[in-house]
Amino acid sequence: MIKSLNTRFDDSSNRGHFDRTFSSAVVKAYRFSQPLSLLLLDIDHFKKFNDTHGHLVGDDCLQMVANCIRDYVTRPQDLAARYGGEEFVVLLPDTPKEGALRVAEKIRSRIEETGFRVSDEVLHLTVSIGLCAVCPSQADATKDIFSWADGALYEAKGRGRNQVVVCEPPSVQGAEPVMT
């Protein structure tokens, strides 16, 4: 069940709930040396879509994306939320990179395949996804983890969109993360 993907898209409650849950999940992952994965999703070219089709259609588009995410974020400890605008976050506690990558690819593929009807047209949307999977080395690593996932998201957009990019966090403090 996705607790924060609501139909009203109240970004502040979604984001606040996500921030609290994310912080707790990082502490738990650190304490028990468990993997934690974070996905950041952004609908490709959404501003142009909104400008062309209007905000009401844009809201329907956001709901369609939320439903596609909901289909693959199913464990009780997982969390998906609208983070703002056309961005969504998915938190996957106790999930290593390989599992998170499978989830991310399923979401990306499902959104690409799902037709979105606008009047007499059927459009297809795409998303770019940044993924960071890590066993946190400190209890307050939320900013680093989010930053790494965000960097991977922007790398996915820079590589042409409609793809998942994985950030390999640096193993040495001060080193740059590797994007794959």
Which residues are part of the catalytic machinery? 86
- Say how far residue 83 (Cα) sits from the centre of its chain: 9
Q: How far apart are CA 137 and CA 74, in angstroms?
A: 27
Q: Which two tokens stand for residue 78?
A: 């997982």
Q: How far apart are CA 57 and CA 64, in angstroms?
A: 11
Place of tokens 């259609």: 57
Count of beta carbons in the 10 Å neighbourhood of residue 47: 11
Q: Which two tokens stand for residue 2?
A: 């996705």
Contact residues for 105 (Cβ-Cβ < 8 A; gap 6+)? 164
Q: Which two tokens stand for residue 180?
A: 């794959």
Alpha-helix residue ranges (DSSP H) falling in 33-140:
46-53, 55-70, 97-113
